Structures are given as C-alpha cells and as structure tokens.
Amino acid sequence: MKTFHCNRCSQLVFFENVLCERCQALLGYVPALRQISAFENAGQNRWRSLHPQANGALYRQCHNYAVENVCNWMIPADSPDTLCSSCQLTRTIPNLSAPANRLYWYRLEVEKRRLLYTLDELGLHVESRHEDPEQGLAFEFLEDTGDGSRVMTGHHNGLITLNIAEADDAHRETVRTAMGEPCRTLLGHFRHETGHYFFGRLVENSPRWLEPFRQLFGDERADYREALDAHYRNGAPADWQASYISAYATMHPWEDWAETWAHYLLIVDVLDTSASHGVTLLRDDARGEPTLTGRTSQDETSFDNLMKRWFPLTYALNNLNRSLGMLDGYPFTLAAPVVDKLRFVHRVIAAASRAPA
C-alpha cells in the first residue's frame, strides 16, 4: 500500500479515510488513478477531484459511501453505476437489523478493498458476475442462523462466502486460539479465498502451470472430503513446518496453494507499504539493488530480491513488537520448500499480469 496525501493541504491520509483531519476536505479513492483524492463540492451530488492527475474531473460517491457509510470509493459523474467497482462484487450484505452487523459489514468491505487494491497493483483484473456471469467474482457476507445452521467461510465457482462473525475481534481471536493459528485476520481470509478463485482462473486448466503445480503442491485430484476428514481427525504432520506455510496447508494441495497465495500477497503488500514509507532494510549482500516499488515485484528476476528484503524486515517487525510487549507480528518460518512454492505463485502472477486482458 502506497502512502496518500490530501491534495488540498498535503496531510498524510490513510486508504480508508473519508475526511482530511487537517482541512476537512472530502476524501475518496479513484480506482482509475489508484489514488486517494481530495474533493470539492461541485453541486448536484457531484464532487470535483483536486488530484493533479484527475484534471478537475467530476465524480459521485458510491451509494455505500454516501448513504451507508461503509465505503469511500468514487464513481465518474457520468457513469450509470450507483455502486463502485468494489461494492458491485458484494452480492449479499449482512442483515442490518442487528445492531453490530453494520460495523461488521464496514470491516468486511474495508479489507475487501485492500485486497482489490493489491490485486490491481499486481495486474490481476477482477470482474464482477455482471461483467462475466461464468467466471466473475462475487462475495456473500452471511451469519449463522438461530436454528443452528453455521455459515462456512469458503469459495465455490467464483462465489466467496465469509461468515460475518470473523469481523468480530473477540470471536476471531477465540477461533484463532482454538485452531492454533499464529495469525488469523479478515484480510487473510480474503487473500486465502481469492487464492482458490485464481487457482481456477490461472492454474487448473493451464498446460503451462498444472504439472509444475503438482510437483510442488501435490495432486489436486485427491479427494477433498477425505483429506478434510483426515486433517481434522489426525491433525497436521509433526514436521509440517519443513514443507508448508501453515498446518492447514497440509490438508490438501488446494489449501496449500491458497495458503501460499495468501502469504505471497501479504509479503508483497507489506514490502510495498514499507518501501512507500522509506523503510527498506537489507542484508549486506542485497545492498545496492533496486528498491521494490510499484510493479517491480512481478518481474521474474525480482523474486530473490523480494526475499532478500523480506527477511530483515520481518526481523525488525518482530523486534518492534517485542519492544511494545506484544507477540511477534510475523510468527512464520519459511523453509526452502515453502520459498519454492512462493516463487511459483510469483511466476504465475507475473505471467498473468503480462497476458492480454
């Protein structure tokens, strides 16, 4: 995530901000520019962008920004759409008659927008079901019902379902502890489930990638239900850290891919954020190499450089957390086979980003 500034007063602002805290200018994200922009009121529910790249263009707030207060993305004033490109992907929202659900909906949309930003920066275009009924992406945010029916977070044929309880910090921490997971976040769920989606789009039917995938991750034709039952019956192998990014990744090649995909997005996003803030820590043998900025992470030759920057940064991150009296911010160990899997994800994304739309 890059750094953003208010175009009126140059105040640093966050990706989620709707108002500049210094000058009170309206803020909104313009997907076409990949920028947060400050706006001035142009009347008739239109807003003029103050961003220099916008050349004074007029925009409208997404309906979920202007009315529901769960979004901060903008739409060109002459667009027939009422929802932004992110909100169009949400097919089902939580039941807003429950007081806490609006907060959960807001949190879910925030993390979804962060995911979409990263995918866009990597050159992975996401289409809605309206644009592509067969292969488009959609989200449903559902909750457990009073009759005991539980909503399972997962992916099926381009539809990603998230249980909105994951947006409840206390619930998520309880599950994290019970499952023995070192890191369980809303953004991590989004990253993981889109890994399943892009497996179908980029690997599953690819003569280039399918066999190399099986060599690294295993044969995805193995019965998923049997693998799931075995995983919850027996747990992960004792030595799983020698070959997998997480215990859950040992369950089936699909889950190994999705966990590795999610971790790759995490690495790229954190490195891009640190570079944008001028924080670049290098091992001695990496000094003098170009800093990761923008799309350089997609280059085939850049993966080793990515790793050279990642390990010292995680060391610093964990030391900072320990200085604050907190648990490690990055509680993972990347064994050589895991790095090879991350390299494979990197290559798949690099090829997809260079392919014609």
Show me where the domains of the chain are located.
4-82, 85-205, 207-357
Neighbours of 230 (CB within 10 A): 14
The rounded distance, in Å, linking the Cα atoms of 309 and 117 is: 22
**pLDDT of 336:** 95
User: Is the pLDDT score of 155 beyond 50?
Assistant: yes
The rounded distance, in Å, linking the Cα atoms of 77 and 60 is: 5
pLDDT band at 32 (very low <50, low <70, confident <90, very high): very high
pTM (2 d.p.): 0.91
Q: How many residues does the chain have?
A: 357
pLDDT band at 178 (very low <50, low <70, confident <90, very high): confident
Give mean pLDDT, residues 116-143: 93
pLDDT band at 291 (very low <50, low <70, confident <90, very high): very low
Determine whether 24 is exposed, middle or buried from the number of CB atoms within 10 Å of its CB (0-12, 13-18, 19+).
Answer: exposed
pLDDT band at 246 (very low <50, low <70, confident <90, very high): very high
**pLDDT of 87:** 97
The rounded distance, in Å, linking the Cα atoms of 66 and 81 is: 14
Give mean pLDDT, residues 151-162: 94
Tell me the percentage of the chain whose pLDDT exceeds 90.
74
- Over the chain, what HEC string results? CCCEECCCCCCEECCCCCECCCCCCEEEEECCCCEEEEEEEEECCEEEECCHHHCCCEEEECHHHHCCCCCCEEEECCCCCCCCCCHHHEEECCCCCCCCHHHHHHHHHHHHHHHHHHHHHCCCCCCECCCCCCCCEEEEEECCCCCCCCCCCEEECCEEEEEHHHHCHHHHHHHHHHHCCCCCCHHHHHHHHHHHHHHHHHHCCCCCCHHHHHHHHCCCCCCHHHHHHHHHHHCCCCCHHHCCCCCHHHCCHHHHHHHHHHHHHHHHHHHHHHHHCCCCCCCHHHCCCCCCCCCHHHCHHHHHHHHHHHHHHHHHHHHHHHHCCCCCCCCCCCCHHHHHHHHHHHHHHHHHHHCCC
pLDDT band at 355 (very low <50, low <70, confident <90, very high): low
Determine whether 240 is exposed, middle or buried from the number of CB atoms within 10 Å of its CB (0-12, 13-18, 19+).
Answer: middle
Give mean pLDDT, residues 150-154: 91
**pLDDT of 305:** 86
- Average pLDDT value for the chain: 90
- Is the model more confident about 27 or about 2? 27
User: Is the pLDDT score of 179 beyond 80?
Assistant: no
**pLDDT of 299:** 53
**pLDDT of 262:** 97
Task: List the Cα angle 277/283/284 in 5-degree steps.
Answer: 120
User: Is the pLDDT score of 113 beyond 90?
Assistant: yes
**pLDDT of 357:** 45
Residue identified by tokens 């490109």 is 85
Let me know: does 143 contact 151? Beta carbons within 8 Å: yes
pLDDT band at 26 (very low <50, low <70, confident <90, very high): very high
pLDDT band at 297 (very low <50, low <70, confident <90, very high): very low
The rounded distance, in Å, linking the Cα atoms of 260 and 299 is: 19
Determine whether 332 is exposed, middle or buried from the number of CB atoms within 10 Å of its CB (0-12, 13-18, 19+).
Answer: middle
Residue 307: C-alpha distances to residues 314, 328, 351 (Å): 11, 19, 19
Of 66-80, 250-264, 287-301, which gets the smallest average pLDDT?
287-301
The rounded distance, in Å, linking the Cα atoms of 220 and 252 is: 7
Closest to 180 measured CA to CA, from 274, 257, 115, 248 = 248
**pLDDT of 301:** 57
Let me know: does 249 contact 264? Beta carbons within 8 Å: no
User: Is the pLDDT score of 268 beyond 60?
Assistant: yes
